[in-house]
Chains A and B, each alone.
Chain A
């Protein structure tokens, strides 16, 4: 098992490669095989859990670019996801635009709205920016709730199934493959973005935006670019959410609490790492489905100590506690633990 420990590189290309040994390629192949084979041994319910996990990974990757790499905290991510979801649903449902095009347009729309609300980031930062993204969330949701003849308001909006070149994605497995393909593209893009000029500019802005500006990084351009990319992915995820997961849209899916949860997920996973959001999303979404499917109904029917309906408070309590505990005990997230594990595996049996 050769992992990159003590290998010599003979060219820069070799040194820069993401996968540097044959073993890594092998592991990647095995992982892909596993992911592709997943539908054959999962029930429809768990497959739909996989779908929501994968969609959330796309959105969280976007938020991670914005918050983890560029340091611009956004607490309105669910609002931007809603923009993508509604744009794409309205385009396909009412104007007959093909799904793939509508998805990309949904992403672009979310990106543009994101840039609009990202404008204050040029003058303010930290808490001020967080508040302006909260405002974005509330304004977007207000428009969606009240623009009833287009969005359906609180009644909701039915969404046509995704269809590409005449093939319609109706079964859970086909939806899974579609989402997986897009997620792989997004993760690949995010992984490489960190190694390009804009990616390095984002990190410089996060670490110290004044110093970055002094070094000649155009803050205006790169902050808005970060907002655009982050919200573009949110829009793509929203479109997939509408067409491949819910099948209809309701403003309640994009609650403010959902936005908080997205921030929580990337913190639990580890900010500013490409693997982090994946870990965070899997942890939270699995916890979510296990809690709401198994534990909460069980407790609700067996423990009669409290006022009826108490168990629905458990989930937010656990999520909140998990976010707080990670911030206090492991602020670098699960990705840091994963890194520690990899290092100790590579140099085994030596301690360092």
Chain B
């Protein structure tokens, strides 16, 4: 029974971080219709940048994290300006392929700068364990989940009340109408990439401070694809709900199925869920069902 509680709590808290990263994906998809398959690599490279700033340059955390966020913003701006802007109005295949090219490039760049490929971030959160009932949970997970929830709330408020947030929602709804109203759509695109990169950075930092930096972070990015598929590609709420579901499925499955099947079943459960969701409910739990007309 202690196991069950343990898996549940870990699953839900890790799932919250997946949600945070997945929200970056949904943001870009909603505003510009680009599927960002380089998400995993973005998460990884931004955690490495955090490592460079906190460990290699030795800056304190209160100064280092804002610098990382600024770097993430500029990275998002650069990617949008130089890779996606020239491809506006190209078929979706090119848009997907360009992010694949980007993921390949970033992979190389990471090996280029940090060839040793595994390292640890300084612990950002207190490590004392918390006892919840019979389960023993590391406090870091609770912190990660709380920060994700906080950011989700902040983002919701941003989209609801700020001018830019409203413009972004409008762009997601109808690009043509927004252009006709005189809102600069390209600015919205670059803003959404900047925000998505910042979310990837925070997600990466949260995951890396718990589990260290390594290629596993790319898989974290990949898992957030299953979050967006389950939640629905165009739904923030969906991403927020689907993250914990995927985290739960992964941890419960990993906990109970490993003995029955093969090791590593935890890593493949999100992908099996993708296939199942796509066969049963292809547009996800909260996604808008598209009806096509000619």
How many A residues touch the partner, as a band?
A: 35 or more
Q: Number of contacting residues on B, CB 8 A? A: 52
Instruction: Assess A320 versus B115: contact at CB under 8 Å? Given A73-B96, A145-B264, A327-B97.
Output: no
User: In the complex, what residues of A have CB within 8 A of residue B96's CB?
Assistant: 73, 126-127, 130
Decide if A117 is an interface residue (CB 8 Å cutoff). Answer: yes
Asked if B116 and A135 sit within 8 Å, CB to CB, the answer is no
* Smallest CB gap from A208: residue in B: B294
Asked if B263 and A320 sit within 8 Å, CB to CB, the answer is no
Decide if A221 is an interface residue (CB 8 Å cutoff). Answer: no
| Interface residues in B161-202 (C-beta closer than 8 Å to A) | none
Decide if A62 is an interface residue (CB 8 Å cutoff). Answer: no
Decide if B262 is an interface residue (CB 8 Å cutoff). Answer: yes
Instruction: Assess A316 versus B267: contact at CB under 8 Å? Given A132-B274, A134-B225.
Output: no
Instruction: Assess A309 versus B222: contact at CB under 8 Å? Given A124-B282, A210-B294, A328-B86.
Output: no
Nearest Cβ on chain B to A235's Cβ, whole angstroms: 20
Instruction: Assess A126 versus B92: contact at CB under 8 Å? Given A210-B292, A327-B87.
Output: yes
Task: A135-B271, A138-B271, A327-B87 are known; give 13 further A-B pairs, CB within 8 A.
Answer: A71-B93, A117-B275, A119-B279, A120-B278, A120-B282, A126-B92, A134-B37, A136-B275, A142-B262, A310-B111, A312-B115, A313-B110, A324-B101
Chain A residues within CB distance 8 Å of chain B: 67, 71, 73, 75, 117, 119-120, 123-124, 126-128, 130-132, 134-136, 138-139, 142, 145-147, 208, 210-211, 214, 257, 260-261, 263-264, 267, 271, 306-310, 312-324, 327-328, 331
Chain B residues within CB distance 8 Å of chain A: 29, 35, 37, 83, 86-87, 90, 92-94, 96-98, 100-116, 222, 225-226, 229, 233, 261-265, 267-268, 271-272, 274-275, 278-279, 282-283, 292, 294
What are 23 of the A-B contact pairs (CB < 8 Å)? A123-B282, A124-B283, A126-B35, A126-B93, A128-B282, A142-B264, A142-B265, A146-B261, A211-B294, A261-B104, A264-B101, A307-B115, A308-B115, A310-B111, A313-B113, A317-B105, A317-B108, A319-B104, A320-B103, A320-B108, A324-B83, A324-B98, A327-B97
